[in-house]
Chains A and B, each alone.
Chain A
Amino acid sequence: MSGPEDRRPEEASAQARALAVEGEITEADRQTPTTLQRVQRLLHRYPWLAPLAFLAVMLLIFSFGNERFLTPFNASLIVQQVMFVGTLAIGQTIIILTAGIDLSVGAIAVFVSVIMGKLSADFGVPGVGALLVGFMFGTAAGLLNGVLITRLRLPPFIVTLGTLSIFFALNLFVSASTTIDGRDMDPIMTWTGTRIDVPFIETAVPISSFLMLGMFAIMWYVLKYTSWGRHIYATGDDPEASRLIGIKVDRVLLAVYGVAGFIYAVGGWFLLGRLGAASPQAGQDANLDSITAVVIGGTSLFGGRGTVIGTLLGAIIVGVARNGLAISQFTIGEVSIKFDPLWQGFTIGVLVIVFVALDQWVRRVSS
């Protein structure tokens, strides 16, 4: 048996070390980024910066459009409008973080509000009992989505498109397409619509708006500071890698859809308070509006990237854009511009496309 001729390990090893050191230097040399690259990296690291900056610009522009725009009263109006979609968007955020999507969000929330209202008004179920049944139903509906996605390996888009139809049909069936008056229900059903005075700004804001902010805070904590939160990001970022690392990916997905379903149910409860009734026809735009809020807030539709704070900003941006366009009037010379309500939908559409394009650009960042 012959020994290897031209192998001198010591030398090879020394060479390897030298080469490694050299490699570091060239890498360091390459790092002289342009301003555009700096912006790209900054947005990459802090995805909520873009929506925050955009919101600031929008507030500035609309403040010239109407002197009442930047008043506490108008702010409280915007907060009320944002409340329902914002709550649903919390659940939508964790689903989109796993690279999924939920089209059934509005249908589940509205169906839950109808179930809660009907149990309380027509069947005389005590308020807390009706609430609990509603929460359990919302969670079960979310889990159904999760089971179909993880067990049958169906794409979330298709599953939730199906359950959207199913829950909406059931909702019309159960309610017989009629609205249930909140005054026939236990007071706790519409309690979240109660307005409470906010000190200093002398405006009343419904309880549900505060509860929504509380839910945002809790989800922010969960995503940032708990293992489950980290696993949601990992699962959305690279499910195969997550599996190899030992994360039980299917369990994470199932839990995410279940928790999202629970959040939608809470949103349904808030809706009862806001409308003062259980309306089976309400919340039709909530599906797309919740996705819009998440996307504008800097969360990537490809998963693994985004924050719930961004979603809150996204929801506020949608609310501010609608409100601002509705009440603004700009006068340039002799021309006075007011905006027809149809421009609201137009603007939201443009925002979605712009922010998704921005996300695509930011994702291309590399050293």
Chain B
Amino acid sequence: MTAVVPDTDIRPVLQAKGLVKNYGRVVALDHANLELYPGEVLGVIGDNGAGKSTLIKCFSGAVIPNSGEIYINDELVNLHSPGDSQAAGIETVYQTLAVCPALDIGTNLFLGRERLKPGFLGKYLRMLDLGGMREAARTEMSDLGLLTIQDMGQAVETLSGGQRQGVAVARAAAFGQRVIIMDEPTAALGVKESAKVLQLIRDVRDRGIPVILISHNMPHVFDVADRIHIHRLGRRVAVVTPESHSMADAVAIMTGALESDQTEEEMSRPKLSKDSLSHVGHIAEGPMTSSRPRA
């Protein structure tokens, strides 16, 4: 990371302030806050019904909060539809993947954002640049190390679960200008495919796009996340790092067995990387034991 400035100058890319969402009497979000900083993977964990899905859907435009504000680069935004969210540079990899199985890889990558051919064909006949889109799809897939799939004209349903996940991630990576959200990306996958998806998450982060990872799988979250946002009863109760807390601690906070005494201000702090630590000379809470390889 390149941050050579004091931590107070690192501004969140995506920020939620006091989001509230009720479904009838059920309070799914109770003044929830969240900060996502540049270049990080933010894990979001929480028990079933804690409201993490609702929180994430507020960012992807699938749920509109009753009150509260969402900022992108300190700018207030209104996300009323998936289209709004995409236009704001937020891409979501849904648990269901949201790919169309009968359509080919190239089409799926550009669905809803097709490219037209230049000149007369595109302008007056609305002709799509099918070849160009396939070529771009191939580039994107190869950038993510997914070029085991040779044929971009292949239907997505002919791919394995991990490869389909790869298509969904590639789409997000191709269009995610600011933030990529991944909802349970490893839930339906085997060990090998999960490992590949975790690597994809690191690769995306290393390309400079911060990632929000929602998962029930603690080892996966602790493997890739820089900070871990713990959601409980509709709000953030703690933000930990894999270095500061064990998985057992995180689960204890998540279920309420352990009370966190963090203040909102502490939870909203960015984590300082090794580089910025050496420059700023400020040590975050807990020992820094890991240096993850950044390919």
Contact = CB atoms under 8 A, between A and B. Distances in A.
A9 B94 contact: no
Contact of B195 (A19, A233, A304): A19
Given A367-B159, A367-B160, A233 B100 contact: yes
A9 B223 contact: yes
Contacts of B286: 1, 3
B12 to A, nearest CB: 24
Contact of A244 (B82, B148, B160, B222): B82
A234 B126 CA distance: 18
A134 to B, nearest CB: 27
A16 B198 CA distance: 8
A7 B222 CA distance: 9
B148 A27 contact: yes
Given A13-B292, A44-B155, A247-B112, A19 B98 contact: no
B111 interface: yes
Given A234-B111, A365-B158, A241 B246 contact: no
A246 B82 contact: yes
B199 A13 contact: yes
Contacts of A10: 292-293
7 contacts: A7-B242, A9-B292, A27-B148, A233-B100, A241-B98, A365-B157, A365-B158
Interface residues of B, number: 57
B196 to A, nearest CB: 4
Interface string A234-248: 100110111111111
B199 A17 contact: yes
Given A4-B222, A234-B103, 15 more contacts: A3-B246, A3-B287, A7-B242, A9-B290, A20-B199, A23-B196, A27-B148, A28-B148, A44-B155, A225-B126, A234-B111, A237-B103, A241-B99, A242-B100, A243-B82
Interface in B202-233: 202, 222-223
A15 interface: yes
Contacts of B285: 1
Contact of A366 (B62, B158, B198, B247): B158
Interface string B73-115: 0000000011100100000101011111111000100011110
A29 interface: no
Nearest to B285: A1
Given A9-B292, A367-B158, A230 B192 contact: no
A242 B158 CA distance: 19
Interface residues of A, number: 48
Contacts of A366: 157-158
Interface of A: 1-5, 7, 9-10, 12-13, 15-17, 19-20, 22-24, 27-28, 41, 44-45, 221, 225-228, 230-231, 233-234, 237-238, 240-248, 304-305, 365-367
A13 to B, nearest CB: 6
B111 A230 contact: yes
Given A27-B160, A45-B155, A304 B199 contact: no
B155 to A, nearest CB: 7
Nearest to A41: B158
Contacts of A5: 246
Interface of B: 60, 62, 81-83, 86, 92, 94, 96-103, 107, 111-114, 125-128, 130, 148, 155, 157-160, 162, 191-193, 195-196, 198-199, 202, 222-223, 242-247, 249, 285-287, 289-290, 292-293
B260 to A, nearest CB: 11
A2 B242 CA distance: 10
A230 B155 CA distance: 14
Given A23-B196, A231-B112, A366-B158, A12 B126 contact: no
Contacts of B293: 9-10, 13
Nearest to A303: B102
Contacts of B292: 9-10, 13
Closest 7 CB pairs of A and B: A16-B195, A241-B98, A23-B192, A237-B100, A20-B196, A304-B102, A244-B98
B111 A1 contact: no
Contacts of A19: 191-192, 195-196
Contacts of B287: 3
Contacts of B112: 231, 234, 242, 245-247
B223 A23 contact: no
Contacts of B111: 230-231, 234, 242, 245, 247
Nearest to B145: A20
B82 A245 contact: yes
A5 B243 CA distance: 10
